[in-house]
């Protein structure tokens, strides 16, 4: 059990987090300062930085919570026997919907992955393990040898996570009027076609060719 002091610290951190997210949504991330957050949270500016060393660190907690929700839904679907590729597609759809809805918060968060400070970039990768979630979803396919043998599960999964990041950044910066879900689904289908075992793809092609000859 947590001590009284630890519970007080956790409650204070939660209050700072909730206040910061509310201010980001109300005023905008760039327009909200650490002083604004501290004042609204009834703590000193120094206390804010004791819990969050920089403003973007609040968004790491926000992203981690969002990812935890996505993981819970995906694992429940796998547990009930849903096909992994169906689970992955639903994950992608939920991720796109959340990203569109929370564009104002996820845009500065996404840029943390590209931060020139290696410590901050590493903190973003360690807090938001989308690649690990994708790997957990695809692992049954890997075990059944339905994924390529010349690429590790980790490489395939991290590549998919990287594609999400780039697709989101491009969408948020240049074409927010378009559907992010449509863009992401196109990329997912393209990448998964390349990730499927070559032997399975050859089997599919052979079946299609045989069907075409039969119909001809």
My answer on whether 120 and 185 are in the same domain is: yes
In a domain, 210, yes or no: no
My answer on whether 21 and 65 are in the same domain is: no
Domain total of the chain? 2
My answer on whether 8 and 31 are in the same domain is: yes
Please, which residues bridge with residue 147 across strands?
196
My answer on whether 188 and 138 are in the same domain is: yes
In a domain, 216, yes or no: no
Determine the Cα–Cα distance for residues 55 and 108; give it in Å rounded to an integer: 10
Give the per-residue pLDDT at 215. Answer: 47
Give the per-residue pLDDT at 4. Answer: 82
Can you spell out the DSSP letters for 160-182? HHHHHHHHHHHHHHH-TTS-HHH
Give the per-residue pLDDT at 205. Answer: 38
Give the per-residue pLDDT at 190. Answer: 87
CA distances from 149 to 74, 105, 143 (A): 24, 38, 10
Query: Contact at 8 Å (CB) between 61 and 17?
Result: yes
At 2, give phi and psi (nearest 5°).
-75, 145
CB within 8 A of 68, min separation 6: which ones?
none
Give the per-residue pLDDT at 176. Answer: 82
Q: Report CA torsion sign: 56, 58, 61, 65.
A: negative
Q: What is the pLDDT along the chain (216 residues), one digit of tens a residue?
A: 778 888 899 999 999 999 999 999 999 999 999 999 999 999 999 999 999 999 999 999 999 999 999 999 999 999 999 999 999 999 999 999 999 999 999 999 999 999 999 999 999 999 999 999 999 999 999 999 999 889 999 999 999 999 999 999 999 988 888 889 998 998 898 888 888 876 554 544 344 344 444 444
């Amino acid at each position: 059990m947590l001590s009284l002091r630890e519970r007080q610290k956790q409650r204070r951190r939660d209050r700072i987090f909730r206040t910061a997210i509310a201010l980001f949504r109300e005023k905008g991330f760039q327009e909200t300062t650490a002083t604004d957050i501290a004042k609204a949270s009834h703590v000193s500016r120094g206390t804010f930085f004791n819990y969050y060393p920089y403003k973007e660190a609040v968004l790491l907690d926000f992203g981690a919570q969002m990812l935890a929700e996505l993981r819970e839904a995906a694992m429940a679907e796998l547990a009930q026997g849903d096909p992994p590729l169906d689970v992955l597609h639903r994950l992608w759809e939920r991720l796109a919907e959340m990203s569109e809805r929370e564009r104002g918060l996820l845009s500065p968060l996404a840029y943390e992955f590209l931060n020139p400070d290696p410590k901050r970039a590493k903190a973003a990768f360690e807090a938001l393990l989308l690649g690990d979630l994708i790997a957990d979803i695809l692992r049954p396919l890997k075990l059944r040898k339905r994924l390529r043998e010349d690429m590790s599960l980790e490489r395939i999964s991290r590549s998919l996570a990287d594609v999400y990041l780039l697709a989101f950044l491009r969408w948020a910066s240049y074409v927010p009027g378009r559907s992010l879900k449509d863009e992401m689904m196109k990329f997912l289908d393209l990448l998964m076609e390349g990730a499927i075992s070559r032997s399975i793809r050859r089997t599919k092609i052979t079946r299609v060719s045989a069907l075409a000859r039969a119909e001809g």
